[in-house]
Amino acid sequence: MSKYKYLDEVKFPSDLKKLSIDQLKIFSEELRKEVIDAVSVTGGHLGAGLGVIELTVALHYIFDTPNDKLIWDVGHQTYPHKILTGRKDKIRTIRQGKGLSGFTKRTESEYDPFGAAHSSTSISSALGIATANKLSNKSNDVVAVIGDGAISGGMAYEAMNNAGASKTKLIVILNDNDMSIAKPVGAMRSYLAKLLSGKLYFSLRETIKLIISSFSKRFSAKAGKAEDFLRTAVTGGTLFSSLGFYYVGPIDGHDLDALLPILKNAKESRYEGPIMIHIKTKKGKGYSFAEKATDKFHGVSKFNIQTGVQEKTKVNVPSYTKVFANALIKHAEKDSKIIGITAAMPSGTGMDIFGEKFPKRMFDVGIAEQHAVTFAAGLATEGYKPYAAIYSTFLQRAYDQVVHDVAIQSLPVRFAIDRAGLVGADGPTHAGSFDITYLSTLPNFVVMAASDEAELVRMINTSVHINDKPSAFRYPRGTGIGLELPNSDEKLDIGKGRIIQEGKKLAIINFGARLQECLNASINLKKKGINITIADARFAKPLDENLIWQLATDHESIITIEEGSIGGFGSHVTKFLSEKNLIDKGLKFRSMILPDKFIDHDKPDLMYKSAGLDSQSIEEKVKNLLNSNIILQKQKQ
């Protein structure tokens, strides 16, 4: 028996086109129920998708996807899109191992023309595709859907600036729901609110009729004057119009009677240039528990549909993020120069906790990591102690600012790098794989990695006193291991590691949160009569050269382990050993790093197993290296 009247019959957008407008409205409610039901089983991003149900239906109904290209910014809101584009039967595998990605992914479907999991990329990529169409004399339409939070990112303005001058047809949907992951911040939020406060609202039927008649490249002088008057009356002139966009809006994004004719006329328009359609939506629309939630159910675990209660793993151990926030608060209580900075991720980085305590000393700069870093650099020049709390994967977007504005000037900006290493369901786009490499190559930097939550506190304590150069400390997603936390006075000697346990013949030098896996491997090895030394480097820069020298001269073999790519800690150790001629004297050296590939989303332990960085892989590496030494010694005899 069919679960839904229309949804069960729609497998692709071509099926959608067989429905009447009244049927589309029923279909939209069925789609909303299906999204809620699916995410209740899998967990994932919910609120954003519920807010674009009608928009998703309208876009696929009007446009000829996949021939027309539909590009979603970030991808949080694409669950309804996936259901409509041949992936309905797999929607309950989303974010699961070997299942659908939580974001758009080119290799997953021809309906995903551009992969996106970071924000503010849609207009740039859409303009590139539209330009390619123009050069190839293709008439395909290109549509980009960008959220109000994502449009705060600088890249979006760069793209609009280029698009407005290009005279290339491109349709941009500004999905204004007053909510990205957290509340949007900055002047753009106020500007969009001002647009919405106008006396005219474009969901009014007579207003729609006036505007949609004006998409034509040529229209009468009388109609043109009416259009100019209307747009000025509503907005007082728009930023988007000034950038060269034909601006229409705001429109009720949940009203198919308003959306369909607007989109149809945009598609059929002969206007040679970019069109901006501003729609107003509600995040979490149609599910009361999501609508009432402060985060509008942005990211959720499995939940009970009837109660809205999410399944939470009961743990008594705080997350690394919370440990960071609480430790920083303790220092900020004594030091008024400490400043917290986040780029639209207050809850994800713990800066919401810091901000509650020090509202005047926490700055959410919006989805603008480049600005965040240089803003922090400016603060540092005036004697303040800025902490830029940014996910490893997002800090990549500000690398030039880290180099040019911070490192070259040796400014004491502190980088709290959350989500270091592999992160599970969010997959390769959110993995913190490269920060060890891209920071350790920079002069004037101190680079630390916490092996547990107690070490994280010590690194925060240490960073407070680094006043002549930038510093960074990285830590993983998830909870610690349950250690008692040190007090605020317990800090580290810069560039000094520690010996965890002593053994013979082989030493492991760990950098970061794989220490417990090293210890687990050593327990199994000990049962086989193999006792190894384990050290925790703590610092990738500066290296503890004395410790490395000691381990290299006291052991036959060394293995370094890190949750990062080639070019990081292990590469720096290799350079040191080579320069000291220690490898030439018979020392066996191996580095265990993330492999040279992007690892698909899965449970974190399975991802680390795939990466060869679990305890079993470490154990095998040790045994193989020791066996190769035995064989080599026999050959010499």
Tally of CB atoms within 10 A around 202: 25
131: part of which helix (H) or strand (E)? helix 122-135
Cα 61 from chain centre: 30
414: β partners: 387, 471
Q: Taking phi first (over 0 means left), then psi (-120 to 50 degrees means alpha), and beta for anything else, what does residue 141 get?
A: beta
Judged by DSSP in three states, 358 sits in coil
Catalytic residue from among 267, 283, 541, 621? 283
Q: Which of 88, 267, 282, 397 is catalytic?
A: 397
506 SS3 class: strand
Residue 419 near residue 393 (C-beta atoms within 8 A): yes
Q: Which of 54, 227, 369, 517 is catalytic?
A: 369
Instruction: Name, in order, each residue with C-beta under 8 angstroms of 564's C-beta and a sequence gap of 6 or more.
Output: 421, 432, 433, 434, 435, 436, 437, 512, 593, 594
- Interatomic CA distance for residues 296 and 48, integer angstroms: 8
To the query of whether residue 397 is one of the catalytic residues in this protein, the response is yes
DSSP H helices, 335-449, are: 346-349, 351-357, 369-381, 392-395, 399-401, 435-440
Query: 217-230 burial string, b = 16+ CB within 10 Å, else e?
Result: eeeeeeeeebbeeb
Do residues 507 and 480 touch, judged by C-beta distance below 8 A?
A: no
369: annotated active-site residue: yes
- Distance CA(114)–CA(127), nearest Å, equals 12
Q: Tell me which residue of 200, 216, 204, 214 sits closest to 257, measured CA to CA.
A: 204
Instruction: Please list the active-site residues.
Output: 283, 369, 397
